[in-house]
Copies of this chain bind each other. A is one copy, B any other.
Amino acid sequence: MAVVALAVLLKPDSSGEQILSYTAPVKDMRFVLDHVVGMEDIARLPGYEEATPDIVSAILEEAGKFAADVLAPLNHPGDLEGATWTAEGVTTVAGWKDAYTQFSEAGWNSLAFDPEYGGQGMPGALAAAVQEMWHSSNMAFGLCPLLTQGAVHAIASHASDELKQTYLEKMISGQWTGTMNLTEPQAGSDLAAVRSRAEPRGDHYLITGQKIYITYGDHDMTENTIHLVLARTPDAPAGVKGISLFVCPKYLLNSDGTPGQRNDARCVSIEHKLGIHASPTCVMSFGDDGGAVGYLVGEENRGLMYMFTMMNEARLAVGIEGYALGEMAYQRATAFAKDRKQGPVLLGDKESQPGIINHPDVRRMLMTMRSQVEAARVIAYDCAAAFDFASHHSDEDVRARFDRRGALLTPIVKGWSTEIGVDVCSLGVQVHGGMGFIEETGAAQYLRDVRITPIYEGTTGIQANDLLGRKTQYDGGQGIEELLVDMRATLSALEQATDAHGKRAGKALKNAIDLVAAASQKILQQENPAVNAAVANDYLMLMGYTTGCWALARSVLATANVDDNDFVSAKLTVCRFYFDCIAPRANSHFTALENADIEHYALDIELM
């Protein structure tokens, strides 16, 4: 039976039960943070002084333990059991509430938030690494704090002091969670179509309407849940300029700030989904009994703009999910491939290492998985670091430049890292052969879970249009030009290299730079918006593979600062594989982009 060969994947947990294990890649995280992204520079920024090497190290180690010991053991059971709904509300999976309590009590929820409201004020780059661990070990769990984070930022950035005083501290501690209520059945990617209503009633509004796809819209882990809701006031203009944002708690607060009366906002069903079964995806109904009490965030009609300020962060987080699941899939596939024996192998010590990992094609799959994950990790931390500089640097011009960089990288992290995340998890299934298709193995769950990441928080198509439009065309290519300057600086450094690894990295980076320059030029010169919209995906994927190339080219240079020979040897081999076998994918996207023609899309829809 298939179960026989599962033994290798299972390790006993503290109670002796067998679990599918996760090991946080702390070494690589440290390498990227310290030597590629520049944690030292971040720790010099005003406000980030506490992010000393010792603290960073301790946080990563502890987070890794929490992910491995508390979250990973719940991942597969969570998938099997799933969240459940009754008219009373959503019940989370057994163990979930306890894990969440541990999570917030240990302070993980508050890691990167503003110290003014009880946050620990750690840099976003470090928080990105920690977040990666939550998603690798248990994405369905990690979604809950991810959504709270979005709600916190919406309130912190745009709400009145009173709302901040009332809600932030408990949301930052994790005592209460947050949700984002955007989507309606007719308003998904197009939020202009939002119909939910908000009627003013003195100091508050009464909200009515139905929202779908609300992650952790209801659950039983905390005593309150704070919904952020997009709705229209009675006289609001049509379209995106008439949408306002409201805070709408599940329980209205008593005068002492404790949860009191139930608000008129309920979860009326949860979705039956391909993956993330333990994360309840709720249909929320507001105002079935006359109206849910909501409090306006900022000014009326500016809700969509407020949402966008936190969108970058949410998109970065989802991008991290994409490759974090890829990391998990890689760990599982590697463990399997070391143990599983089928036929004579061609690599390694054939006698003592007969596992299928020494079949060249299996090794190719694993290297394809790992090299893309390691590239995506650099880009994600880079993006988070850019926002750290953008928010904390003392010089305004520097802040502006890093803000452009973060904004430019965000759709790449969200779009590319999730697309390759799906591919990587699919390869993880493939490495397992027939056992990959059996749910007990766990590989299939990663594929099912990761499949949502190119969809929510803006589909890949939305990211591609954001990258090509807002981030490239509308700033006249300034962000891209700055990126090219930095890529060329890396190339200059590599051109000094005398070793084969440096030369190879330089050659690959040179090609990447040429592609970025030529593709961006083509985009900027294109006059037909339909053609640009059609090639946006190829542009996004090209930008992903080329910034990935840059990320690993910098990694090659950074190995000079590392003593650990095994780590360096592995890193250089992974980079080399990427340059030789993965980076060329950018070229086929460039050719497709060059060949783009409106005639490709000329068929009448009746013929489609």
Q: Please report A residues at the B interface, Cβ cutoff 8 Å.
A: 1-2, 4-5, 183, 185-190, 192-193, 210, 212-213, 269, 271-275, 283, 334, 338, 341-343, 346-348, 353, 355, 357-367, 370, 422, 426, 429-430, 433-434, 436-440, 444, 447-448, 451-452, 454-456, 459-461, 464-465, 529-531, 533-534, 536-538, 566, 569-570, 573, 576-577, 580-582, 584-585, 587-588, 591-592, 595-597, 599-605, 607-608
Given contacts A271-B2, A283-B1, contact A360 B599 (CB under 8 A): no
Instruction: Give the distance to chain B from A47, nearest Cβ to Cβ, in Å.
Output: 37
Q: A577-B600, A584-B588 are in contact. Are A608 and B357 (CB under 8 A)?
A: yes
* Distance of A534 Cα from B363 Cα, bound (Å): 8
B-chain residues with CB within 8 Å of residue A460 when the two chains form the complex: 430
Give the distance to chain B from A242, nearest Cβ to Cβ, in Å.
16
Among A275, A338, A342, A367, residue most surrounded by chain B Cβ atoms (within 10 Å): A342
Nearest chain B residue, comparing its CB with the CB of A273? B437
Q: Is the pair B461, A362 in contact by a Cβ cutoff of 8 Å?
A: yes
- 3 interchain residue pairs of minimum CB distance: A580-B595, A360-B534, A584-B591
Closest-by-CB residue of B relative to A187 is B342
Task: Give A443 Cβ to nearest chain B Cβ, in Å.
Answer: 9
Q: Which residues of B contact A190 (CB under 8 A)?
A: 341-343
Q: Which residue of B lies closest to A334 (CB)?
A: B608
- Flag if B361 contacts A444 (CB, 8 Å): no
Residue contact B605 to A580, C-beta cutoff 8 Å: no
Known: A334-B608, A343-B192, A361-B464. A440 touches B272 (CB 8 A): yes
Residues of B within 8 A of A348 (CB): 604-605
- The answer for the CA separation of A338 and B605 in the assembled complex, in Å, is 7
**In contact, B580 and A596 (Cβ under 8 angstroms):** yes
Bound-state CA distance A577–B459 (Å) is 23
Does the CB pair B529–A346 fall under 8 Å? Answer: yes
Contact B361 A534 (CB under 8 A): yes
Assembly of this chain: how many copies? 2
Q: What residue in chain B is nearest A445 (Cβ atoms)?
A: B274
Nearest CB in chain B to that of A573: its residue: B603
Contact between A185 and B273, CB atoms less than 8 A apart: no
Residue of B nearest to A346 (CB): B530
How many Å lie between the Cα of A587 and that of B592 in the bound state? 11
User: With A and B bound together, what is the CA distance between A4 and B362 in angstroms?
Assistant: 44
Q: A434-B456, A447-B451, A461-B359 are in contact. Are A573 and B599 (CB under 8 A)?
A: yes
Contact B580 A597 (CB under 8 A): yes
Beta-carbon contact of B452 and A437 below 8 Å:
yes
Give A186's nearest chain B residue, CB to CB.
Answer: B341
Residues of chain B lying within 8 A (CB to CB) of residue A592 = 580-582, 584
Q: With A and B bound together, what is the CA distance between A43 and B605 in angstroms?
A: 36
Q: Which residue of B lies closest to A343 (CB)?
A: B190
- Report yes or no: B439 in contact with A272, Cβ–Cβ below 8 A: yes
Between-chain CB contacts (< 8 Å), 19 pairs: A1-B269, A5-B185, A193-B342, A212-B434, A272-B439, A274-B437, A274-B448, A275-B437, A360-B530, A361-B464, A430-B455, A430-B459, A430-B460, A437-B451, A580-B595, A580-B597, A580-B600, A581-B592, A584-B587
The answer to whether A359 and B185 have CB atoms under 8 Å apart is no
In the bound complex, how far is the Cα of B531 from the Cα of A460, in angstroms?
35
Residue in B342, B439, B529, B537 whose beta carbon sits within 8 Å of that of A364 in the complex: B537
A509–chain B nearest beta-carbon distance, Å: 15
Residue pair B433, A455 in contact (C-beta under 8 Å): yes
Nearest-neighbour CB distance to chain B for A477, whole angstroms, equals 21
How far does the Cβ of A83 sit from chain B's closest Cβ, in whole Å?
Answer: 15
Residues of B within 8 A of A438 (CB): 271-274
Is A274's CB under 8 angstroms from B439's CB?
A: yes
State the CA gap A534–B358 with chains docked (Å): 11
Contacts of A603 in B (CB 8 A): 569-570, 573
Contacts of A448 in B (CB 8 A): 274, 448
Taken together as a complex, chains A and B put the C-alpha atoms of A585 and B183 apart, in Å, by: 36
Give chain B residues whose Cβ lies under 8 Å from the Cβ of A604: 348
Which of A2, A210, A213, A582 is most buried by chain B, counting CB atoms within 10 A of its CB? Answer: A2
CB contact between A1 and one of B210, B577, B582 (< 8 Å): that residue? B210
> Does A601 contact B364, Cβ atoms closer than 8 Å?
yes
Residue among A193, A274, A348, A426 with the most chain B CB within 10 A? A274
Docked pose: A484 CA to B273 CA in angstroms = 47
B570 contacts A607, C-beta separation under 8 Å = yes
Min Cβ gap A493→B in Å is 23
When the two chains form their complex, are residues B185 and A2 in contact, meaning their CB atoms are under 8 A apart? yes
- In the assembled complex, how far is the CB of residue A593 from the closest CB belonging to chain B, in whole angstroms? 9
A573 contacts B600, C-beta separation under 8 Å? yes
The interface residues of chain B lying within 8 Å CB-to-CB of A465 are 361
Question: Which residues from chain B contact A274 at a C-beta distance below 8 Å?
Answer: 429, 437-439, 444, 447-448
Contact A566 B444 (CB under 8 A): no
Q: Which of A275, A338, A348, A364 has the most CB of B within 10 A?
A: A364
Residues of B within 8 A of A569 (CB): 603, 607
